[in-house]
Structure 1
Amino acid sequence: MTTKGDFASLFENPTAGREKGRRPRLEPGQEVEGVVLELSGGLVILDIGLGADATLDRMELGDREVKIGDRLRALVKNARSDAPELTLALGRGGGSISTANIELARSSGTPVVGTVTAAVKGGFSVDVGGIRAFCPISQIDLSYVNEPEVWVGQSLEFKVTEVREGGRNVVVSRKALLEAQRKAAQADMLDKLTVGSVVSGTVRQIGKHGIVVDLGGIDGFVHISELAHGRVQMAEDVVSLGERVEAKVLSNEANERGPTIRLSIKALASPAAAPEAPPNDTVLDAKVVGHVVSGILVSTKHGDGLVPARELDLPPGADHKRAFPVGTELRVTLVHRDPATGKMRFSVKQVAHVEEQKNYREFAGNQGSRSSGMGSLGDLLAERFGGGLKAGDGKADAKNPPKRGR
């Protein structure tokens, strides 16, 4: 087997092997390093110091970007002397793997590709290139596994953690590989998480106080007050699990348990136009949505606002939280609206006064309409009794009282 030292010498003098009339021999599973010569279609062409260039499927690189001149480390998948094929994980493509290659993967940390064939007691049976391996159930994923059966039939990458009894007892872990990838992604992501930058991620957890967003190797937290403009009662009303979101970085602080990333979604959203405020003498239907020390918070069709405790018409010493629990429906009237912020202050005890004023105005308006349309009472009487009352008399003649009809 050719050692890595042999290949290093070949990089320094690529024609050395040819000058001696021999070509280094590759073996499946052997680790090599090469220089990217070309990106052709779906292949990466590498010079590994042999007469023939090697190829690597570009799909294996995932989101990793490479360019001509970059150096890559890979494993020999097919040891053809005229066109060696490389891979980043042993077992990819369904080829067989020897025990020596499994041991090589364990010592070098190279991932292997295996197919989960069955859920067994305590874990899974995994076929790695014809070699049976065992993956503990706690090592198949980063999170707790409730339904082992869903993993059966999947082809995944694993890290070989143990090789015993000459390869008859092989233990693999997908979790160890994921954690290593996560740490590498965290280091790369932390460099990009500057305050004010915009990031995207996936909602992976929803709680009472906010949501956790997976930023691709590191978690960020969005407090419920930073989800949207306006009051948010439940985070589920704004986002859902698995949803892709964009957020602005508010802070990035390091502590003993790792970095703490605070995000804001509403910082990227334009605030909705505030509803037009109703006149101050309008009575509105409202619903209690929360409490503060100074009063209760209510929601109306014109927006949310505060009803101060002094405007609740409660006896001294009464508990406004008990008197108006969340969900209580009531009527309020607008007392004040801040033109700068749009915040509104309502009143409960002024509702009766507003309604009295409204009823009086309606009554007075009706009376005016009736008077202008029907004439005065004197005109009605004169018309009814045929002039028994003379203009300017103010009273009927005592000797000639008006005749009453029979």
Structure 2
Amino acid sequence: MTDSRNFEDPTADKLETQSGDPARSNNSDAPEVETEDFASMLESYGAIESLRVQVGDKVGGKIIHATADTFFVQISPTQEAFILKSELVDAHDKLSLGLGDEIEGFIYTKRGGIELRRKIGGDSIDIVMLEQAKNKQIPIEGTVTGTNKGGLEVAIGGPRGFCPISQADINFVEDAQAMVGQTYEFLIAEVKENGRNVVLNRKALLQAARKEKASTLLAELEVGQRRKVRVTRLAKFGAFADLGGIDGLIPISELSYGNVQSTEDAVKEGDDLEVEIMRIEEDPKRPGQPRIGLSLKAVLPDPFIAHADKLHEGSSFEGKVVRVQKFGAFVELFDGVQGLIHISEMSDRRIRHPRDVVTEGDTVSVRVVSFDPEQRRVGLSMRETPKDVDTSSIRIGARVKGTVERIESYGLFVSLADGGKALLPAAETGTTRGTDLLREFPIGTELELSVIAIDEQGRIKVSKTARDQEEERSVAEAYNRSQSGNGKGFGTLGDLLKIKRNK
């Protein structure tokens, strides 16, 4: 401890009192000393700061001296405190502090000097210490010796400590028995029966430390950063993860590129992960508190890029139906890559709902009919693969025969004589708008058609109107030839058309 008696007055050699030695004062050879106002001189040296401290106060300072078992800490320009080195060792009995380091502690007592402690505990604890620790929120060290129905039994010296299980940790404690034998720090919530029974709270201490750390951490966080986190709690909508003092949420949609039905399928409590910060905003439900969105998916390889070379038009796969909607079914081709089978591509026959063909969990054979990597969209089909039919001999304008096998509002699907399939749009049937196609062209009706289009995937579009117009032109040309020659005619043009249509 610093003794004020050891401080030397820097002005002592300059001051003389009027009651000094007369002979010396009359010595003409001695220099004359001017009298100064002491208060003015003291003010010129500045005020000497001193802390008004009470037992239980938290103070900090620099280690300025050390002995074999003690550090001396300067907590103000005129005050020193001391702390036992045993208070500062870690779990492996190693001391990481030394001269010049800054430390913080609680004032444990002022008797015999200011003593600091990081916490209190041990066999010497008494009721006075317990009350001081409770009132000043000084941590107390205790070892969990057992469990009971309500919580943990804790040895804190002479008194018996009890920590309710709800106050044993920030998170829910599933296995209290795993804490037996461990030494922790607690805050004192209640002192009962003259100190014989003490109610402890570890959760509040952890929350306070976390809040202090969080304020520093929050200033460092930025959108786009990648951070190490630990999963602390699972919910239906995602997983909460500790960033190191602040919790963030990984939504279920950001846990994987794949189809995640349940949070538990992707992560477990206690998992250590690397995530990317998606957003930092104020929580509308807790004003002044941050809400941090995280993504695990963002740090994983993009499966669309990894499998892009396989997802070309015409490629075939087996996939699992993961979702069925009114307009079609989503099929998982790879982990994180899904494609859509539109209802029109699910069957060659007419269906009312995709569930008439597939249900969730089914394994189906599909082929890719479209792939847009930028939009991350894959179009699939379950219908018969055109590659089984050789369409190389079919050209636009060719005349073909087809049999009606399916009828939709927009047209007819017909099977061609060579085994291929084609679409006869309603506008190309030669009927007026609103005609009942099912009545006009029953299933099995055979038609004479002309090919009017073939797309890159080999899909054929035919027309009855075009075929009829070709027939009319050929009849007209034959009639003209008969009239211009010397041979016998075929009758009127109308007669020829009737004959042709009735064939």
- Compute the TM-score of the two structures, normalised by the length of structure 1: 0.67
Alignment RMSD (CA, Å): 4.1
Larger CA deviation: 146-155 vs 171-180: 146-155
Q: Which residue in 1 is equivalent to 2:131?
A: 103
Residues 355 and 237 (structure 1), Cα distance of their counterparts in 2 relative to 1, 3 Å cut: farther
Residues 227 and 194 (structure 1), Cα distance of their counterparts in 2 relative to 1, 3 Å cut: same
- Tell me, yes or no, if structure 1 residue 304 matches structure 2 residue 338: yes
| 1:187 Cα deviation after fit | 3.1
Q: Which residue in 2 is equivalent to 1:387?
A: none
Give the Cα–Cα distance (whole angstroms) in 2 for the partners of residues 39 and 295 of structure 1. Answer: 78
Report if the CA contact (8 A) 1:78-1:86 is conserved.
no
Report if the CA contact (8 A) 1:47-1:53 is conserved.
no
- SS in structure 1 opposite 2:310? coil
Percent sequence identity is 30
Q: Which residue in 2 is equivalent to 1:295?
A: 328
| Alignment of structure 1 residues 123-134 onto 2, 5 Å | 123-134=151-162
Report if the CA contact (8 A) 2:72-2:80 is conserved.
no
Give the Cα–Cα distance (whole angstroms) in 2 for the partners of residues 32 and 279 of structure 1. Answer: 68
Q: Which residue in 1 is equivalent to 2:61?
A: 35
Report if the CA contact (8 A) 2:256-2:296 is conserved.
yes
Query: 2:291 is matched with which residue: 260, 263, 271?
Result: 260
Give the Cα–Cα distance (whole angstroms) in 1 for the partners of residues 179 and 239 of structure 2. Answer: 27
Q: Which residue in 2 is equivalent to 1:122?
A: 150
Give the Cα–Cα distance (whole angstroms) in 1 for the partners of residues 264 and 239 of structure 2. Answer: 9
Query: 1:215 is matched with which residue: 236, 243, 247?
Result: 243
Give the Cα–Cα distance (whole angstroms) in 1 for the partners of residues 176 and 101 of structure 2. Answer: 44
- Tell me, yes or no, if structure 1 residue 333 matches structure 2 residue 359: no
| 1:109 Cα deviation after fit | 0.4
Report if the CA contact (8 A) 2:56-2:138 is conserved.
no
- Tell me, yes or no, if structure 1 residue 271 matches structure 2 residue 302: yes
Give the Cα–Cα distance (whole angstroms) in 2 for the partners of residues 232 and 31 of structure 1. Answer: 51
Give the Cα–Cα distance (whole angstroms) in 1 for the partners of residues 137 and 325 of structure 2. Answer: 57
Q: Deviations over 1:171-207 (max 9, x none)?
A: 2211222232333333333333332333321012344
| 1:65 Cα deviation after fit | 10
Give unpaired runs (5+ residues) of structure 2: 9-54, 394-417, 419-503
| 1:158 Cα deviation after fit | 1.0
Q: Deviations over 1:219-256 (max 9, x none)?
A: 21112332344555555554433121122222222222
| 1:339 Cα deviation after fit | 5.3
- SS in structure 2 opposite 1:202? strand
Q: Which residue in 2 is equivalent to 1:354?
A: 387
What is the aligned residue count? 332
Residues 246 and 284 (structure 1), Cα distance of their counterparts in 2 relative to 1, 3 Å cut: closer
Q: Deviations over 1:92-138 (max 9, x none)?
A: xx452121111110110001011223334533332212222232333
Q: Which residue in 2 is equivalent to 1:343?
A: 377
Give the Cα–Cα distance (whole angstroms) in 2 for the partners of residues 224 and 161 of structure 1. Answer: 38
- Compute the TM-score of the two structures, normalised by the length of structure 2: 0.56
Report if the CA contact (8 A) 1:212-1:220 is conserved.
yes
Q: Which residue in 2 is equivalent to 1:201?
A: 229
Report if the CA contact (8 A) 2:65-2:72 is conserved.
yes
Residues 121 and 233 (structure 1), Cα distance of their counterparts in 2 relative to 1, 3 Å cut: closer
- SS in structure 2 opposite 1:96? coil
Give the Cα–Cα distance (whole angstroms) in 1 for the partners of residues 170 and 209 of structure 2. Answer: 12
Residues 127 and 240 (structure 1), Cα distance of their counterparts in 2 relative to 1, 3 Å cut: closer
| Alignment of structure 1 residues 57-136 onto 2, 5 Å | 57=88, 59=90, 68=100, 70=102, 72-76=104-108, 86-91=116-121, 94-136=122-164
Q: Which residue in 2 is equivalent to 1:391?
A: none
Q: Which residue in 2 is equivalent to 1:16?
A: 4
Counterpart of 1:284 in structure 2: which amino acid? F
Residues 59 and 253 (structure 1), Cα distance of their counterparts in 2 relative to 1, 3 Å cut: same
User: Greater relative contact order: 1 or 2 (C-alpha under 8 angstroms, separation 6 or more)?
Assistant: 1
Give the Cα–Cα distance (whole angstroms) in 2 for the partners of residues 66 and 187 of structure 1. Answer: 27
